[in-house]
Chains A and B, each alone.
Chain A
Amino acid sequence: MKRLYQTVPTGCDWAVEAQGLVKTFGDHRAVDGVHLKVRTGTIYAVLGPNGAGKTTTIRMLTTLLRPDDGSARIFGYDVVKESHIVRQLIGVTGQYASVDESLSAIENLVIFSRLLGMGRKEARQRAEELLEEFSLTEAANRPLKNFSGGMRRRLDLAASLIAQPPLIFLDEPTTGLDPRTRNQMWETIRKLVNHGSTVLLTTQYLQEADELADRIAVIDRGKVVAEGTADELKASVGNSSLQLKIQHSYDMERARQIVEQVLKVRSNTSTETGRITAPMTEADRVTDLLIALREAGIHLAELSVQKPTLDEVFLTITGHGVKKDTAVDSSSAVEEVRV
């Protein structure tokens, strides 16, 4: 049996090219015309909330699900027509650990290695290498039932790397991990790319996409609503957001008007909590705002500045809560991808 070592087909700039992918479940269009282009050798993040269609997109790109419409190519190979070749070029780590619960860590890796065409001895050696790399050697012979969430993820990732695939899909690799394990996972992902792999990951956290990804696609209700580098995306939301808590709820509407006039942005009001949230592009303007509020006799209970959250990115990008011209950046980025 031949060894299964693949390499990036030479001269292929794009690891992933997806055009208008559609997947419908009953009446629900889970993925509704997704376009994605991932350059070889980069980390690409697909960012979106639960149910946005991230996992369904990944499942189509990894040949696990047949698209209802559109097409996708992995290093130039069609995911439907040339699925067997595509499978030789990818490693997949799903959202739920795709390893065998009733077997030990080493047994899992040996079986996957054997399936990839390695001999008995070679498979064992590869499994041991990977276990050591992912600090699982001590737990090698324990049944997975006793593994922590982080250990499972690590084993799962190890299993995806057996054949050294040039493209690795990670579906929410850090969801549910504690901060320390999450940082380790980030380190691993960076190392993978340093050694020439391409990584496409999904995440719910802007911070994660920001830390890792060269480019980010924001996906909502099955559509890519923005695409660009982390900086481009954040620029469209404002680098941070300003949160004001108003003392008297009857001042809310007036306060909101003042905020929008002074900061020249749309704000987001929550009457129950008495909070106004607004993107803050220039910190200096806050001084003007505070003065304006005092002149209007509006009393503040609290004031804070926060990094933009995914919610705000969404509010901004999906068009609820921001003027069209501030979103130009992101929409033009989408255009670029759709060419």
Chain B
Amino acid sequence: MKNISNLTVGRELKNRASVGQAVHHSLVMAYRSLLKMRRTPEQFFDVMLQPILFTLMFTYIFGGAISGNVHNYLPIIIPGILVQTVIGTSVISGVQLREDMDKGVFDRFKSLPIARIAALAGALLADTVRYTIATTLTFLMGYLMGYRPDGGLGHVVIAALFVIGCSWAISWIFAFFGVVGRTASSVQGISMLILFPLTFLSNAFVPVETMPDWLQWLAKINPVSHMITAVRDLTNAGTMGQDFALSLIGAAVIVAIFAPLTVRVYMRRA
């Protein structure tokens, strides 16, 4: 018992965690999430099946109609499906956060002298594992179906990192719904309601020019369209243009708004 309650002589008490500590705390929390993922590998089923299923389905359904044949459609659809799938995966972050927060262990995290953002940032950081799986599988499916990106492997890797990074930023939006929502299923419902228009009202599957004017306008300002264009530029031409920059700026803005907002709500809710 001696070493349990033996109060050793102190140190200065500070009322804030430093940035370095916050990063450390977030990394430990991410490690915790990874450990949990390893314990429950079944949670990866949907992440693994969705890219395979969607890529096969959409390519063969739309391929002939939009590009004349499946092969010509691949450079358009693979980046589209990739962005759609990975952003879709980031919805799970919010839902899982809600489930996690309902458990007693979050009380302990809140009562520990750790940076308030760590519990959230750690969980979201670990979720990039999910995005990586979805990204890899989508490209792999594309390759198996005959997709040969002209941009080369290097640019495909950059595109993959780009999509994972942006999705991490977007996951803060769903994390926000996660802390605001009452139950995991309501979080899932709200997130899906946002996700569907966001990913389908874009240039992911069809050329925007075929849409009615008002819809074109929507699809063109949709940030997801910019992301998809940026990925297409990278994989098909090996270039980084305006869309790439815009998407990154957009991602940064999302984090700047939603990270503090989410942490604040998280702190306020019991």
Contact = CB atoms under 8 A, between A and B. Distances in A.
A1 B2 contact: no
Interface in B5-48: 5-11, 13-17, 21, 24-25, 28-29, 31-32, 35-36, 39-40
Contact of B105 (A1, A66, A84, A99): A99
Nearest to A143: B39
Contacts of A66: 268
B28 A114 contact: yes
B209 interface: no
Query: What are the 4 A-B residue pairs with the smallest beta carbon separation, nearest first?
Result: A195-B5, A7-B10, A98-B108, A87-B113
A102 B99 CA distance: 13
Chain B interface size range: 35 or more
Nearest to B110: A64
Contacts of B110: 63-64
B107 to A, nearest CB: 5
Interface residues of A, number: 56
Interface stretch (A89-97, A208-216, A222-230, A267-275): A89-97
Contacts of A117: 21, 24
Given A107-B35, A115-B112, A195 B104 contact: no
B103 A101 contact: yes
A85 B108 contact: no
21 contacts: A5-B7, A5-B9, A9-B10, A63-B111, A84-B16, A87-B113, A98-B105, A111-B28, A114-B28, A115-B112, A115-B114, A129-B4, A133-B1, A161-B4, A164-B4, A164-B7, A191-B1, A192-B4, A192-B5, A195-B6, A197-B7
B104 A96 contact: yes
Which of B107, B108, B110 has the most A CB atoms < 10 Å from its CB? B108
A4 B11 CA distance: 8
A22 interface: no
Given A6-B13, A63-B110, A129-B3, A111 B32 contact: yes
Contacts of B35: 103, 107, 111
A8 B5 CA distance: 12
B14 A84 contact: yes
A97 B4 contact: no
B105 A100 contact: yes
A96 B24 CA distance: 27
A6 B118 CA distance: 22
Interface string A20-51: 00000000000000000000000000000000
Contact of A90 (B8, B28, B109, B111): B111
